Amino acid sequence: MSTPARKHRKQVHLAVQLPAIHNVTVWSDPRSRSQIAFESFAALARTAERGLFDFFFLAEGLRLREHKGELYEYDVAGRPENLTVLAALAAVTDRLGLAATVNATFNEPYDVARRIASLDHLSGGRAAWNVVTSFDAFTGENFRRGGFLAEADRYTRAAEFLDVTRRLWDSWADDDVRPDPARGHFVRADAGRFAHTGPHFDVSGRFTTPRPPQGHPVVIQAGESDAGREFAAADADVIFSKHNRLDVARAFYADVKRRLAAYGRTHDELKILPTATAVVADTDAEAAAYADEITRAQVGPETAIAHLEAVWGRDLSAYDPDGPLPDVDPDPDALVLRGHSIFRTGRAETARRWRALAEERDLSIRELVIEVHGGQNFVGSPRTVADALDHFVQTDGADGFILVPHLTPHGLDDFVDRVVPLLQEKGVFRTAYTGTTLRDHLGLGPAPTRRQEGAAS
């Protein structure tokens, strides 16, 4: 009797984000190092490359958040600009992908295309761009544009922004650099010529930077709305997801993947990577105790009250974070936390759900905030974490994860040293890099050499 064929096991994709926002970093921990010094970035990137991760990711906001008119200091503030850091990291890494958030609302396609292409050249084909949009006039004040863009238009601008950027990359062919000393020619005569006219951009001229090594650097997107999911299905190579509870993650995964066919794309052309944390110790019990310690450090008393105030739209500093929720109703028109997208809409419904959960579970303010915004995802011994992470991927909850360690820069060490070897033992994670570009690591295949309609439209 023949043995049934073993079902194909998906390969797990792993990336790391150097934490900065959403109270993930415990920067006050004595084991944390500088949140700004280059060596912190370099140390984490080297660890990720030692662990054979796909890429290193830096998030970024364009304005410091404010809470009740004061700087929101529970976030990390003062980080250097993303692409500048990644250009420096290109010199101290060899294979690791380098991904940066760059805003499509308060930038211009020509400049972004040039900066991303330059990073791709400097790194030998390892650049990625996380395309984000901004919704608020608060951020716009930094650019003298006010609100600048109606929220309903932000994805249409982003889609056109990305289209123009790709046209700029495509304005050079792969063989346009043709040094010919005898004739005195360096590039093809028509290299870099482009033109685009659309609702948001009317640009034409010559692009300065030759075609990136990847053709099109990897495009990442993080939208959760229906419009964001559609944008990702049409144009992204990777989508960040916040869904790391398996049942919800499976539904999100299935929904986004089913949308690909409408754009002539296959299931494997878009990787879905939720952000997640991993807490590893010798035993499950030790890991659980450590995870609780981390969570309570991330959601301290001040943070718990600040999160509640963001939803309630009121000053709640007189309330005990270890006591019950306030008996006052939220003020739906007041905004006490500015520059944070998570608490800006649907706050009345959020407050209703939070109050119901707190009453059902008899939770204090701090316990409630930990329940809804805290907690660690993969907790246990190395074997427990490896098994849980692999199960999540094999059952189509994700294609992998972007790990967010709570300590900078050594929070990834235990995972790389103790969990990665077990994933390799399972046959679901690489034992060596087999390609040189980020597109290789992600299994995306090469970008088109040039669009059929040419560089101009």
Write out the binding residues for FMN.
101, 155, 225
Residues 6+ apart with CB under 8 A from 166: 216, 451
- Beta partners for residue 456, in sequence order: 195
Distances from the Cα of 177 to the Cα of 79, 95, 193, 245, angstroms: 36, 25, 14, 49
Kind and range of the H or E run holding 350: helix 347-361
Rounded CA gap, 379 and 277, in Å?
8
Contact by Cβ (8 Å): 305, 316: yes
Shortest CA distance to 132 belongs to which of 253, 42, 219?
Answer: 219
- Residues of the chain by 3-state class (helix, strand, coil), percent to 5: 40, 15, 45
Annotated binding-site ranges: 101, 155, 225
Q: Which token pair is 100?
A: 């940066």
Burial of 410 (0-12, 13-18, 19+ CB in 10 A): middle
For the chain, state the CA radius of gyration. Answer: 23
102 is written with which tokens?
């760059």
Positive or negative torsion for Cα 61, 62, 64, 68: negative
Distance CA 8, CA 12 (A): 12
Establish whether the linkage from the previous residue to 409 is cis, with ω within 30° of 0.
Answer: yes
* CB neighbourhood size of 246 (10 A): 16
Contacts of 242 (CB under 8 A, 6+ apart): 224, 274, 275
**Which residue do the tokens 């930990």 mark?**
370
Per DSSP, the three-state class of 170 is: helix
* Residue 422: partners with Cβ closer than 8 Å, 6 or more residues away: 382, 383, 386
Question: Positive or negative CA dihedral for 76, 81, 82, 85?
Answer: negative
CA torsion 350-66-403-413 (nearest 10°) is: -140
Q: How far apart are CA 212 and CA 216, in angstroms?
A: 7
Beta-bridge mates of residue 197: 202
Q: 448: exposed, middle or buried (C-beta count within 10 Å: 0-12, 13-18, 19+)?
A: exposed
